Every structure is written in C-alpha cells, then in structure tokens.
Structure 1
Amino acid sequence: MLLQNTTDVNYQGVDTNVDYQSTRARQCVRAAFEAEKKRVDNQSKIDAKQPKIVEKLVWIEDEYKPKCLTHKIGYYDSFKESNEEKDFRANVNRAELAGIYDEVLGLVKEGQLPDGFEGRIEWIELANRYRRLIEPLDISNYHRHLKNEDTGPYMIHGRPNRYKHAQRGYEHELLKAGRSAEEIKRSDCGSCFWAEVEELRRKEYDEARVKKLEELLEGWIRDKEVDDEHIFLEDSSFRKWWQSLPEVHRRGSSLQVRMG
C-alpha cells in the first residue's frame, strides 16, 4: 500500500498545496487590480492638470510673445534680459510647467500610468506644443545664468528629459505620417535652435556648422518648430550674430532675403 504525502493533503483529505496556490492567485489578481486602479487614478489626476497647462501656454502665446514683439527683440532675448514684470511671470509659468511635466515623466518611467497613456494624441500634441514654446525659455535661462560655462553646452549637459521625451513622441508621429527615419534624424531638434545659436556665437566662424544651421532652419520654420516672426526681428540676437558673419557667407546664404 502506497503512503500518502502528508505535506500535500491535510487530515480532511484537502490538497493544501492547491488551496495555497488558489489563495496566492487571488492575491495576485487583487494586487494587479489595485495597481491598475492606482494607474487610472494617476491618469485622472494628470488629466485634471491639462487646463492649467493650456492656460499657461496660452498666456505665453497670446500675451507674452506679442508684448516682446513690440520691443523688436523677440521672446527669447526678452526672457534672457528679464528686465520687466512680464519676464518674471513667464519664468513662473516656465517653472510650474516644468514641475507638471517632470511629474508626468516620473510616473511614466515608474510604470504608474496606464499602458496607453503615452500613445494618447492629446498628450503628444500638448507636450509638443509645450516643447516648442517653452524650451527656448529654458535655453535662455541656461545661458542667462552662464550654466554653459559652468556645466557645458546645453545639448550635452543641460537639456531636461521632459523635452527629449516630448521630442520622441513628436518624431513617432512623424514616422506614422510617412516621414522616413533618416529624414527625421537629419532634421535634428528645432526647439533647440537657440542652443546652437548660442554655441556658434561664442566660437570662431565655422562655415560648415553655420550652413547646416541655416539649412535646418528652413525646415524648422516650415514645421513650426521655430517662430520666424521672432528670430528675424531687428534687435534679435540671432539677427545681430548673423549680420556679423563674413560678407561672402551672407551674400550666398539662403537667409539673405529674410535678413533684408
């Protein structure tokens, strides 16, 4: 007669190993349900911040930028000088938006938002709008505080992950729309236009690098990555730098007509 394994069967004839597995399975299902509920709750909290994000972006677009235009300097240079109350308010908005987007990115990286969150077109478009509008202010702030001298170039040492993440979402949408990966890679980062200008302004004339920037700029303007209404203003630091380039370069430049 075979002996029963007493570790698997209790005195009432119930398989305790199966009972343990069933309890463990229920606990796992409950934990998974609670985790997903937490992710959905996090998404609801983030979604509730959308109106605040839009409000701050609209203020930059409809109030701050037009006021800067009246000084013929553009909002990048105005923010860098920060001589007026409007610049202070723009900085407050910049800091608050950074906090919101860093929170969102942190939740994404920790897996604390539903799987489909990153693919939601409304968030991709809002993040792209944010990147295009606010990253120039971050670059301006970086150079205003001379962080390029202490830390190094913005593109290597200073660019926040929130902008890199937003750019990847934008590039993914371009791929879906039919643009080739090679073309996307070649087009580089339009919202970082000012970072390249700042680097070039501090170096001796580099013909190849300047020509590359000019070529990229046409595409960035077309794709609304760069606001041409501001960068070509009379007192824009970009315009002043470009006019300091060798005459032979300026005569053959694709920007000659825009510069007048």
Structure 2
Amino acid sequence: METATQTFTAGEEIATFLVSYRFLLHKAWEESLRANSSKSFTLNEHEDVVYVAFPSFHGIEDFMVIESEYGEGNIQTGNEVFSGCLKGNDDQLALVHQGALKIFLHIMENTDFKKKLQIYINSKQKKPKSIIFVGHSLGGAVATLVTLWVLEKRLKQSSPFCITLKDVNPFCITFGCPLVGDERLVEAVGREHWGGNFCHVVSKHDIVPRMLLAPLESIAQPLIAIFPYWQGIDAPDAFIQDACRTLLNNVFDSLRESNGVVKKSPYRPFGTYMFCSSNGAACIENSETVLKMLHWTIQSQETSLDEIVQDCLLEHIRYGSVLKIVMQNSIRGRKLVNFNSESSYEMRISLQLEAVGVQDDHVKLDLLNLGRTENKHSADVSNLAIKLSKKNCTRVELEWYKECCEKDDIGGYYDSFKNQNDKRDIDANGRRLKLGEFWDELIEMWESHALPSDFRTQNKWVNAGMTYRELVEPLDIAYYYRKSEGKGNYLSDGRPHRHKVLQKWMEDKDKTREAEGRVARTKLPFLIPDSCFWAHVEEALKDLKQGLHQRKESLQKFEDYVTKLIDDRNISSYVFLERSSFMRWWQEYKQVQFPEWKLTSPLYKIMETASWKG
C-alpha cells in the first residue's frame, strides 16, 4: 500500500510552522548572508519581524580557543552576562564552547547590540514585534547564545538595560551551526521548555555541525585552511580539498572510536534539528536521536569519501539551494513505497531516514530502540501518576489526622505523633512510611535517568512533592527526635534524601514563579512552607537547656526566624496551640530573658498580643 505524506516526519509542530511560513527560512538565510558584511551583527525589520543576524566567519581565530580538549568551559567563565539558571540536573553550571562564548561576549560588551535591541523590545505597540536571531556557521553559535541570554533574562525578569522581557518570545534559526553546549545545557533547556525556540538547519554532508565531536586540536588547522574558501577568498584547489579530507577523517575517527555514540565529546544538541538532503527533510527534537543522525547522515554507505569531500565544501555555503529543494518537496508531498510495517512509529522512522537519504537497517533499528526508550519513559510517568492518585488517599488520611489532633487540643499533629500515645498515631506512622516509599522510588527513578529530563519541572510533580514534604516531613522530624532522644541533629544528620531533592525541585521552580510575580499571603497556611520548622524548634529547645548565655546567638537567630515566618504569613496556626513544642520553647525562653528584652523584641509583642492571628 502506498502512503502519501510530507517529508517532515518528526518535530511536527515546528515542521508544519516552517512549511506554512517557509518565507521565514528563506528570509533568515538572506539575513545570515547579509550579516557577513558586518563585523558584529545586523538588525533589520521585515513585515513586523525583527531579524538579528550574526556574521558567519568573522572571528575564526577567536573561535579556535584550545584551552581544553574540545574547547569547552564554564558558561560564566570571565563574564557575568549569564546568571546561574543554566545548570544541569546536578546543579553544576553548563559548559559551552569558549570560542563561541568569546565572540558572543565581544558583541555584548563592545557593540551597541543591547541598545538597538532595546528599541524594538520596548516598542509601544500593543503587539510586540517578533524577534528571530539567525546565523550561519559560527554566526549560528552566536545566535544560539544570544537567544539563550534573552530567554534567561526573561525567566529572571531582570535586565542590565531596563528591557521588559515578559512578552518577548525569541526564536532562533541557524544554518550549519556547530554544537554549542554540553549535556547540562541540554537539561537546562529541557527544564525550561525552551527547545521549541531553536531550529537548526543541517545539510546532509555539512561538516561544521559535526566538527566539535572531534578534539579541537585535530580540526583547527584544517578549518583555518578551509575557511578562506567558504568566505569566497580562495578557489577550491587541491590544498583545500586535502584539508577538508583531513577534517572529515578526524571527525570520522572520533565517531568510530566511540562506536557512533560520541561519548568523548562533551557537546550535545538541543532544539529542533532540520536535516536536509536532496530527498527532502526530517525534523527531529530528541537530543540523543539528533546526535546519532549527525553521525549517520554524513557517513552514508552509498557515497564515497571523495564525493562527501566535495559535498562538504559546497553544502556548508549553499543553504539557499538546500532550502529551495526541501520546500519544493514539502509542497509536492512524497510517497513511500514497499512499506510493510503496521507500526506508525516505524513508518515515521522510515520516512525520516528516506528524507535524509539514509538506507541502513542498523540505523533504523537504533532509532526504533531510542523510540522505545522514550515510550518507556512516558509509560513510567503514567504509572507513577496512577500510583500518586492512589497515594492521595493516604495523604488525605494524614490531613484528617492533623485536623483531629488540632481539635483535641493536644499540641498539634507534630507533638501527638512524637508522643505516640494513641492508635491513630501508630496508624499515621504506617501512612508516613507508605508515602516515603513512593517518593523514594520516584527519586531513584529520576536519578537513574528513567524519567524524562523535564520531569522535575512539571507542575504536577513539583506541587505534589511540595505538598507531601510540607505534610509528612514534620512527622519524619518527630520520629527522628523520638528515636534519637534529642541526641542528634535532624538538619545535619537525619534528613532523608527525598526531602532534599523535592525541596531543590521546588526552589528551582520558584525562580520561575518569582519572575512571574507572586501574591503575598494574607492568611496563615494549612501547612508550614518550611517543612523543617519543627527541627529548628527541637534545636532551639536543646539550646535553651544549655543556657541563654552559652547559646544566645543561635537563640536570637531562631527568634528572628520565627518573627519573619509570622510577618510573611508562612506559619500555621497549630504551632501556637498551648501544648505544642513551640509554645513550650516560648514559655521557657521568655522566662530566662532580661527585662529590657521585652521592650525591643518584635516576637514578644506578636506573641503577647496574639497578632500572629492577623
């Protein structure tokens, strides 16, 4: 059976967008070429779209920064342009190519780029202009970093030059762009859902998008020899062809050493990659799949090395012709013949490979395995969601337990659980353990990469983790101090790993929420946002036993801490029940204070007037 379809077979949303508005790609390419007459950037407006383009080949010497094997370095090296948002899941800053970063920083710090961009972003029009950052070759790497910079500033809602960024959603289109950052940068982009802001157009035999998969030392000299030809200065003589052959062989050697997995190079792709050939194009979003496609498409079994050398030299500078062929095919549509599989996913894989001219069963099998891994991740998330819905019953039972303890005037659920004087306290412990097992399993799956990279930023899981932590961690604290008989410190010695991870997820998410603006509380919450509150109370009680004089500084810090919680309405009313551990601390604390303390202590005034009630 013959199946008619477009040659775009993955990354459907962006593919449809690019086909529907294909003039954007052509215009982006035109602006990329126009930027070559500039030493830094060009900025032009066309039909309410602002195109900011960066030159292709200026700064090749700057790009070849051989300070590490692959030219990689910390994204904040020698600059404060980027803040701390671009981190991996391990909380370490992303690595980027230092040569690309150097060119980017030069433009940011030594040109009027910010000033000109401000004019367009601060436009008084009701509908802000669309901004597309474009670049070919090295200019694409700069365009990528600039787009990341705007996205990060928008996230933080801060800017060194008073730009309002909340309505700015930049788009980046690159042509033949080298890889820019490492796995941590991929994780940061995925976490903030920025992948859809990038489209990287890659021709089948263009070496530049693959070149940083090889050590910089092995590609520097060949590239310096080839660049004059790409700039239109030299003709493609035997010397340049030999340099291109050397460059290709060095990249191929790096790929072969790693069995196509490219484990050695730190660089990883992000965004949507539009792979182009004379057959059409395929848009792919998954980073690992893109990495494999960068390998497979250039090492075609049907093409000799001499032919690839010729294509390598030409394709890097002829994206205009490449786009023309791709768009003609996408409008005309294509047919797939001799297709026997009933799997729609296999159909899409076959179409992808056909579109980029790859006919290799091993490649198809690898892509299918990657797809199965993604499907397993999705299935695991679905199973966790089902488990979470079942655990919600346990959570509700603990909330009911909390309310019952408050009604019975026994000091609240923290003290009731710590004392374990009732059957319901024992039942609550069983529920505590069940919920802990669920979240331990989830954290273990996350840390073993069995869940999608953006899992930790999904509101469903961030909010569920926050609610669990605020409700159950007080019980974990009570259990710890009951068992340790006051000898240990929960904060430094006893806090479970799951609570630390869930708190980190929430804090990272709060960076975005703060940028969007948060409304101050007017009422006391049901649960205390600082889930470690009762651990601070326990340590303050121990400090009192040692004496006010010996522990004056730490006791003052605790007093200030509680005062701020009350002022910010970040404390729950059950804390002030007469028989709670906190009230026991308060009664003892004020008795050992000097008389003049009452005149200056904000907390004393709050407690004596009961103004904490609001």
Alignment match, 2:475: 137
Aligned to 2:66: none
Which of 226, 247, 250 in structure 1 is aligned with 2:593? 247
Within a 5 Å distance, the mapping from 1:119-158 to structure 2 comes to 119-146=457-484, 149=487, 152-158=488-494
Structure that is richer in helix per residue: 1
Question: How far apart are 1:225 and its partner, in Å?
Answer: 5.2
Q: Which moved more, 1:102-111 or 1:205-214?
A: 205-214
Change (3 A) 1:80 1:100: same
- Show the counterpart of 2:536: 196
3-state SS of the aligned residue for 1:114? coil
Change (3 A) 1:248 1:54: farther
Q: What is the match of residue 65 of structure 1? A: 402
- The CA deviation string for residues 121-172 of structure 1, in whole angstroms up to 9 with x for no partner, is 01111110111111010000001111763xx311112111111111112212
Task: Point out where structure 1 has 5 or more consecutive residues left out of the alignment.
Answer: 1-16, 180-188
| Counterparts of 1:222 and 1:42, CA distance in 2 | 42
Distance 1:147 1:240, change over 3 A: closer
Letter in 2 for 1:253: S
- Alignment counterpart, residue 171 of structure 1, candidates 503, 507, 512: 507
CA distance in 2, matches of 1:174, 1:215: 23
Cα drift, residue 89 of structure 1 = 1.4
Q: Which moved more, 1:22-31 or 1:96-105?
A: 22-31
Q: What are the within-5 Å matches in structure 2 for residues 224-239 of structure 1?
A: 226-227=571-572, 229-239=573-583
Q: Deviations over 1:91-141 (max 9, x none)?
A: 111100000000110110011112222111011111101111110100000
**In structure 1, what is the Cα distance between the partners aligned to 2:382 and 2:568?**
32
**Are 1:131 and 1:166, in contact at CA under 8 Å, matched by a contact in 2?**
yes
Counterpart Cα distance in 1 of 2:588 and 2:440: 39
Structure 2, unpaired ranges of 5+: 1-299, 303-358, 516-528, 609-614
Aligned to 2:607: 259
Which of 561, 579, 587 pairs up with 1:216? 561
Larger radius of gyration: 2
User: Are 2:386 and 1:48 aligned?
Assistant: yes
Greater mean alpha carbon deviation, residues 168-177 or residues 157-166? 168-177
| 1:232–1:258 Cα contact (<8 Å) kept | no
Partners of 2:417 and 2:367 in 1: how far apart?
52
- Structure with the bigger RCO (C-alpha within 8 Å, sep 6+) is 1
Alignment partner for residue 160 of structure 1, among 496, 506, 511?
496
Verify the 8 A CA contact 1:136 1:191 in the aligned structure 2: yes
SS at match of 1:177: helix
The residue number in structure 1 matching 2:364 is: 26
Q: Aligned partners of 2:438, 2:559: CA distance in 1, in Å?
A: 34
TM-score, scaled relative to structure 2: 0.35
Say which is worse superposed, 63-72 or 135-144, in terms of deviation: 63-72
Q: CA–CA distance in 1 between the matches of 2:541 and 2:561?
A: 17
Range with greater deviation from structure 2 (81-90 or 211-220): 211-220
Note if contact 2:457-2:509 (Cα within 8 Å) is conserved in structure 1.
no
Cα distance in 1 for residues equivalent to 2:601 and 2:384: 46
Q: Which residue of 2 aligns with 1:106?
A: 444
Q: Which one of 443, 448, 453 corresponds to residue 115 of structure 1?
A: 453
Q: Do the aligned residues in 1 keep the contact of 2:409 with 2:577 (CA within 8 Å)?
A: no
Distance of aligned partners of 1:56 and 1:77 in 2 relative to their CA distance in 1, 3 Å threshold: same
Cα RMSD for the two superposed structures? 2.4
Once the 2 structures are TM-superposed, how far is the Cα of residue 83 of structure 1 from its aligned partner?
A: 0.8
TM-aligned CA distance change 1:256 to 1:71, over 3 Å: same
- Is the 8 Å Cα contact of residues 411 and 574 (structure 2) preserved in structure 1? yes
Counterpart contact for 1:148–1:154, Cα < 8 Å: no
Q: Residues 225 and 35 of structure 1: is their aligned pair in 2 closer, same or farther, counting only changes over 3 Å?
A: farther
TM-score, normalization by structure 1: 0.80
- Structure 1 position 224, deviation (Å): 6.5
8 A Cα contact 1:68 1:78, kept in partner: yes
Structure 1: how far apart are the matches of 2:510 and 2:376? 32
Higher strand share: 2
Shift of 1:210: 2.0
Q: Which amino acid aligns with 2:476?
A: D
Distance 1:109 1:220, change over 3 A: farther
Where in structure 1 do 4 or more consecutive aligned residues deviate above 6 Å? none
Alpha-carbon distance between aligned partners in 2 of 1:51 and 1:248, rounded to the nearest angstrom: 53
State which drifts further: 34-43 or 247-256. Answer: 247-256
* Cα distance, 1:57 vs structure 2: 2.0
Deviation at 1:33, TM superposition (A): 1.3
